[in-house]
Structure 1
Amino acid sequence: MSLSNGKIHPANGASDEKEKPFKIFVGYDPKEDIAYQVCRHSILKRSSIPVEIIPIKQSDLRKSGLYWRERGQFESTEFSFSRFLTPCLANYQGWAMFVDCDFLYLTDIKELRDLIQDKYAIMCVQHDYAPKETTKMDGAVQTVYPRKNWSSMVLYNCGHPKNSVLTPETVNSQTGAYLHRFQWLEDDEIGSIPFVWNFLEGHNKVVENDATTKPKAIHYTRGGPWFEAWKHCEFADLWLNEMEEQ
């Protein structure tokens, strides 16, 4: 049960050729194809482990009968809800990652995978974040809710019993609050990842002489340089350099 266009990248000098690729599902929206391409490139370029990058395309999910809900007025991307199909798309086996397409990875994804702890159902950056802007990206409405941005990059323990609830039926019928706030889980089933792995452009700050604040993955959550209105955002140069490298 997988989508097309998945790309497997061999480990850079890995000794174990039998190592299973780490599955990374990336939210895809036709309006932001270039963002997906750059996100994908940034992961592959730095990865020292085998990875399989799979775009979550709503059109493919609809054709395969996995996604059928109508788009709501507050859904700023095509993957606002389809992201929660990640455990299903991974056949409820092993660990897999979901990430929005508006990320730029600056560090080997192995470092993130090595943070995994099997006792958790999911792991994510637990932001305490309330956006100042009323709109984002290309004019989409900016909504505010508890656990904002937690679901933008999630490590899923796909075989965890609690995640078996994330069936297509659940993902297509449950509320945004239930899904984005991880209401199928208890708080102690959600592991924490350092914020530098989901470094919110315009919100998180690098502290001088503090290496623990240096971003490992930049999230252009307000809008990235691929949008005219955001071409001068913070870290725009890093994204543009990556785009030109492809």
Structure 2
Amino acid sequence: MGSTNENAVLKPFKIFVGYDSREDIAFQVCRHSLLKKSSIPLEIIPIKQSELREKGLYWREKNQYESTEFSFSRFLTPCLANYEGWAMFVDCDFLYLADIKELRDLIDDKYAVMCVQHDYAPKEATKMDGAVQTLYPRKNWSSMVLYNCGHPKNRALTPDIVNSQTGAFLHRFQWLQDAEIGSIPYVWNFLEGHNKVVDSDPSNFPKAIHYTRGGPWFEAWQNCEFADLWLKEKDDYLKEAKTATTN
């Protein structure tokens, strides 16, 4: 196991984070938690729909089922990485509790993508700030993905395809065969309110918490599970940001 590309160790690991203008603080805290825990250099790039539209990479009309501004633009990750090397996409509503190097070390070049293969059916009819909660196979698989951007199959993810294909085709990874999708332990996409910590098993504790129902940056989710960890990280981020502006 592991990447055969020795240069990958020297280059910053690219992480594309879904950005929603309504959730800027979620993006900032996610980014802060990644950088703070990482023992390897990272390049963290927000996927901003407005910028992609300006560059002519995204022109899709919004539909009623899109709960975030990056519902579909996330699939431009291989394109944005110039179809080279490995890169990660992650939703902004994540909090990292472990060194991302541990996850990067799980990379296996035989796969086109790697992700946590959840079997997940949310009970809530709505999420976040009242957005409709849709049900579909492979729900949440696309919320954090390691992309083998140089894999021939991922060249299918052109801007034309990302802007025209169905949500089912994209979110279910239908441009790939099942054998081309690698599996990652669920602790790297630990779904708040769904996955459970088993006290007797330390290996079960989340390495990345995904506030998929809604996080503490929304008033309705101030008391969700692990809210205290996110709020502490937010305080750390704000403290550092304030120090940086005063120096």
Computed over aligned residues only, the root mean square deviation of the Cα atoms, in angstroms, reads 0.9
Whole-angstrom distance in 2 between the partners of 1:243 and 1:68:
33
Structure 2 gaps of 5+ residues are 1-6, 238-247
The equivalent position to 1:124 in structure 2, one of 100, 115, 132, is 115
Whole-angstrom distance in 2 between the partners of 1:233 and 1:76:
19
Aligned AA for 1:108?
A: D
Whole-angstrom distance in 2 between the partners of 1:64 and 1:34:
25
Instruction: Measure how far apart 1:129 and its partner are.
Output: 0.2
1:148 maps to which residue?
139
Instruction: Measure how far apart 1:213 and its partner are.
Output: 1.1
Aligned AA for 2:225?
A: E
User: SS where residue 203 of structure 2 aligns?
Assistant: helix
1:213 maps to which residue?
204
Alignment of 1:92 with 2:83, yes or no, is yes
1:11 maps to which residue?
none
Whole-angstrom distance in 1 between the partners of 2:137 and 2:34:
29
What percentage of aligned pairs have identical amino acids?
82
1:24 maps to which residue?
15
Q: Which digits, 9 at most, give the CA deviation of each residue in 1:187-209, with x for residues without a partner?
A: 00000000000000000000012
Whole-angstrom distance in 2 between the partners of 1:82 and 1:143:
18
The equivalent position to 1:177 in structure 2, one of 159, 162, 168, is 168
Q: Where is the helix percentage greater, Structure 1 or Structure 2?
A: 2
Give the aligned length: 230
Q: Which digits, 9 at most, give the CA deviation of each residue in 1:105-149, with x for residues without a partner?
A: 000000000000000000000000000000000000000000000
Aligned AA for 2:230?
A: W
The equivalent position to 1:195 in structure 2, one of 181, 186, 209, is 186
TM-score, normalising length from structure 2? 0.92
User: SS where residue 154 of structure 1 aligns?
Assistant: strand
Counterparts of 1:1-246 in structure 2, within 5 Å, are 19-246=10-237
Aligned AA for 1:147?
A: R
Whole-angstrom distance in 2 between the partners of 1:106 and 1:180:
26
Instruction: Measure how far apart 1:59 and its partner are.
Output: 0.4
Whole-angstrom distance in 2 between the partners of 1:215 and 1:46:
14
Which has the higher mean CA deviation after the structures are superposed, 215-224 or 204-213? Answer: 204-213
Aligned AA for 2:153?
A: K
Whole-angstrom distance in 1 between the partners of 2:232 and 2:175:
40
Whole-angstrom distance in 2 between the partners of 1:228 and 1:46:
27
Instruction: Measure how far apart 1:99 and its partner are.
Output: 0.1
Whole-angstrom distance in 1 between the partners of 2:218 and 2:62:
22
Aligned AA for 1:66?
A: L
Instruction: Measure how far apart 1:212 and its partner are.
Output: 2.1
Whole-angstrom distance in 2 between the partners of 1:23 and 1:114:
14
